[in-house]
Amino acid sequence: MNTEKARFNMIQQQIRPWDVLDPGVLTLLSVVRREEFVPAKHRDLAFADVEIPLKACALPGQTMLAPRVEARLLQELAVKNTDKVLEIGTGSGYMAALLAAKAEFVYSVEIDPDLVDLARTNLQKAGVANVSVDLGDAARGWGLYAPYDAIVVSGSLPFLPESLLRQLKIGGRLVAIVGESPTMEAQLVKRTDENAFSTVNLFETVVAPLVNAQRPGKFVF
C-alpha cells in the first residue's frame, strides 16, 4: 500500500466531501499518522471508510470511528490552544492525538484496561505529551478535572446526561452522537450560561454506544 497516497485519498475523497474544509484540520489529518494507531492486523484498513475493531472479539464500541466522522467532530469542536479537553472513550488514542495537537491539554478516559494500555503506548510512540489516559467509566462525565472547555464523546449516547453537560465551562462546547439505532444525530452543544445550552444537529450516523451508556427511562404499563 502506498501510505501517503492512501492518506491523500482519504482526505480528498472521504473527509472533504463531508464538509470538513478547515485548513488546520485537514493539515492535521495529513501529519498525524492514523496508521500508527490501528492494530497491525487491520493496518490495510487505516484509511478506509469503515470502523476498525481494536480488539479480537471486540465489544460494540471498541472500534475506531470512520475517518470522516472523526474529522467532522474535530472540526465542529473548534479546539483552541488554551482549551482543557475531555475525551470520553480513548480507544487507540488517535482522536486524543488529534485533539492534543490543538489543545493545551487533553484528559481522555477509557473503560477497557487493554485499550488504556494500547492508547498510552501509541501516544508515547507518537511523541504526544499533553494527554493523560485514565481508566474509568466516564459515560456520565468525569468530574476529576472538570470543568472543561471542550468535550468529545467517541461513541454514541442514547441521550446527553445532565451531569456531563454540567462539566462544561460557560462558553464550552461538546460534540457527541446522540440517539439509538437506527436514528442518531451528531450534535454540537454549547453552554451559553449557568443553566442554558444550545444544540445544533450536525449530521445523521449510527455508531455503537459507549459501554455503560445510561439508558433513558422506560414507561411501564
- The domains of the chain are located at 3-204
Grid-cell match 444544540, residue found? 199
pLDDT of 186: 96
Is the pLDDT assigned to residue 116 strictly greater than 70?
A: yes
* pTM across the whole model: 0.93
pLDDT of 210: 87
Cα(4)–Cα(45) distance, integer angstroms: 14
Let me know if 158 is exposed, middle or buried by CB neighbors in 10 A (0-12, 13-18, 19+).
middle
Percent residues over pLDDT 70 in the chain: 94
Cα(199)–Cα(210) distance, integer angstroms: 21
Is the pLDDT assigned to residue 216 strictly greater than 90?
A: no
Is the pLDDT assigned to residue 221 strictly greater than 50?
A: no
Which of the four pLDDT bands, split at 50, 70 and 90, describes residue 209? Answer: confident
Alpha helices in 22-82 (DSSP H): 23-31, 67-77
Contacts of 201 (CB under 8 A, 6+ apart): 185, 186, 187
In tens, the pLDDT along 177-188 reads 999 988 899 999
Which of the four pLDDT bands, split at 50, 70 and 90, describes residue 219? Answer: very low
> What are the φ and ψ backbone dihedral angles of 123, each rounded to 5 degrees?
-65, -40
Cell numbers describing residue 98: 488529534
In tens, the pLDDT along 127-146 reads 999 999 999 999 999 999 99
3-204: which CATH number, 3.10.20.30, 1.10.3720.10, 1.20.120.80, 3.40.50.150?
3.40.50.150
Cα(147)–Cα(209) distance, integer angstroms: 24
pLDDT of 146: 96
Mean residue pLDDT across the chain = 93
Q: What is the mean pLDDT of residues 201-208?
A: 93
Q: H-helix or E-strand containing 174?
A: strand 168-180
Cell numbers describing residue 50: 469503515
In tens, the pLDDT along 165-174 reads 999 999 999 9
Percent residues over pLDDT 90 in the chain: 85
